[in-house]
């Protein structure tokens, strides 16, 4: 599996993590020794990444020269200055603005051999117009694990300090939904669950919008959170799982890719998967009948792990530099649509 964000994944634990720590320490000492007699290494040339259009925004955030260094990636420069097209090492195109034609591909000005990245964190159900982009892009940045630049919505990393106390619970299950569409699978499942399980529904769709800072404290009061993805696709696990449930301190009840996919990202006992139950009624019975000690087991991972969110596009783009030396040269996605429809 590609490493993004959390590196060698949550599976390292106990002695494994200690051994890993010792190894890193040894490498670091070696590096220091190596460094000492000769002074600092010669500066490496920075990789320049041109972002053609900032995702979902007409203006990009400030991109000071140490932007990527702040995320632990040195020798890496992000820019939205289109004058750099001729000289950039990589150019990144975010799908949504291509789809809406807010931005157009500068095909005629493309320097020969310049790698172009197609970037999107949306699922195939919400991605249109890919058939226009045959034979153009060399690399893909997305949440799919088989992307050239794999950027999940979140991941688990070792926790160094003690874990925070579990928030006090006063409700059973919460769901936040801003865009309710009856034909979506999550809507159907909710309708089946509602007669058997009290679900408090928040969000624009229900006329109970939550302000940006209110979502986490609101969800924290519930034992369970319905982490229902808007569409079910390979590896498509979003902030509904990482942030709205795990960061908030509620147990995610997931509807998305199969259980095995979630287990590649998180311990098997950190979530409830709807596919584990024969019916909505059985699922509701499991959630409502659970005693306190069983419930607490869903949080065992918090003693040694914590969530890291990868929500900021600056961090996502800086990841390109870490992957850059390992990315395939000369590869082109002839059928990007076929690759992504899964």
Q: List, by residue number, the catalytic residues.
A: 122
The nearer residue to ligand NAG, 60 or 163, going by C-beta atoms, is 60
Segment near ligand NAG (CB under 6 A), from 81-89, 126-134, 190-198, 321-329? 81-89
Q: How many residues bind ligand NAG (CB under 6 A)?
A: 6
Which of 44, 56, 83, 195 binds ligand NAG (CB under 6 A)? It is: 83
CB of 230 within 8 A of CB of 256? no
Q: Say how far apart CA 92 and CA 140 lie, in whole Å.
A: 9
The 8-class DSSP code of residue 294 comes to: H
Task: Quickly list H helices, 205-312.
Answer: 215-220, 239-241, 259-265, 280-288, 292-297
In angstroms, give the least distance from the CB of 314 to ligand NAG.
17
The alpha carbon of residue 87 and the mean position of all alpha carbons in its chain are separated, in whole angstroms, by 30
The 8-class DSSP code of residue 266 comes to: S
In angstroms, give the least distance from the CB of 108 to ligand NAG.
19
In angstroms, give the least distance from the CB of 189 to ligand NAG.
23
The nearer residue to ligand NAG, 14 or 45, going by C-beta atoms, is 45
Which of 3, 65, 81, 100 binds ligand NAG (CB under 6 A)? It is: 81
The nearer residue to ligand NAG, 191 or 294, going by C-beta atoms, is 294
Which of 294, 300, 312, 341 binds ligand NAG (CB under 6 A)? It is: 294
The phi, psi pair for 92, rounded to 5°, reads -115, 135
In angstroms, give the least distance from the CB of 301 to ligand NAG.
18
In angstroms, give the least distance from the CB of 292 to ligand NAG.
8
Q: Which of residues 273-292 bind ligand NAG (CB under 6 A)?
A: 291
Residue 253 Cα distances to 25, 118, 274, 324, angstroms: 39, 31, 7, 36
Q: Cα torsion for 64, 99, 229, 305, to the nearest 10°?
A: -20
The nearer residue to ligand NAG, 70 or 294, going by C-beta atoms, is 294
Give the number of other CB atoms < 10 A from CB of residue 270.
24
Give the number of other CB atoms < 10 A from CB of residue 320.
27
Q: Which residues bind ligand NAG (CB under 6 A)?
A: 81, 83-84, 291, 293-294
């Amino acid at each position: 599996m590609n490493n993004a964000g959390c590196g060698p994944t949550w599976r390292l634990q106990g002695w494994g993590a200690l051994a890993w720590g010792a190894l890193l320490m040894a490498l670091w000492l070696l590096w220091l020794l190596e460094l000492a007699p000769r002074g600092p290494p010669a500066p490496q040339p920075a990789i320049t990444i041109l972002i053609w259009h900032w995702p979902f925004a007409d203006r990009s955030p400030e991109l000071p020269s140490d932007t990527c260094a702040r995320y632990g990636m040195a020798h890496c420069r992000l820019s939205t200055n289109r004058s750099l097209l001729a000289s950039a090492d990589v150019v990144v195109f975010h799908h949504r603005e291509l789809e809406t034609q807010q931005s157009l591909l500068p095909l005629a000005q493309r320097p020969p051999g310049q790698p172009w990245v197609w970037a999107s964190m949306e699922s195939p159900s919400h991605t249109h117009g890919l058939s226009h982009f045959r034979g153009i892009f060399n690399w893909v940045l997305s949440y799919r694990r088989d992307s050239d630049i794999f950027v999940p919505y979140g991941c688990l990393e070792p926790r160094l300090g003690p874990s925070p106390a579990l928030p006090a619970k006063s409700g059973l299950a919460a769901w936040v939904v801003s865009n309710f569409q009856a034909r979506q699978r999550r809507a159907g499942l909710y309708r089946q669950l509602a007669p058997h399980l009290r679900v408090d529904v928040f969000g624009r769709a229900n006329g109970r919008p939550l302000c940006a800072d209110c979502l986490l404290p609101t969800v924290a009061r519930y034992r369970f959170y319905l982490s229902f993805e808007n569409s079910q696709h390979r590896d498509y696990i979003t902030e509904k799982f990482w942030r709205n449930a795990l960061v908030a301190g509620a147990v995610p009840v997931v509807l998305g890719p199969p259980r095995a996919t979630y287990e590649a990202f998180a311990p098997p006992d950190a979530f409830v998967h709807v596919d584990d139950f024969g019916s909505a009624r059985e699922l509701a019975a499991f959630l409502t009948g659970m005693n306190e000690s069983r419930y607490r087991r869903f949080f065992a991972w918090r003693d040694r792990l914590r969530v890291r969110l990868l929500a900021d596009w600056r961090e996502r783009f800086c990841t390109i530099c870490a992957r850059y030396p390992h990315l395939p040269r000369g590869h082109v996605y002839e059928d990007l649509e076929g690759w992504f429809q899964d």
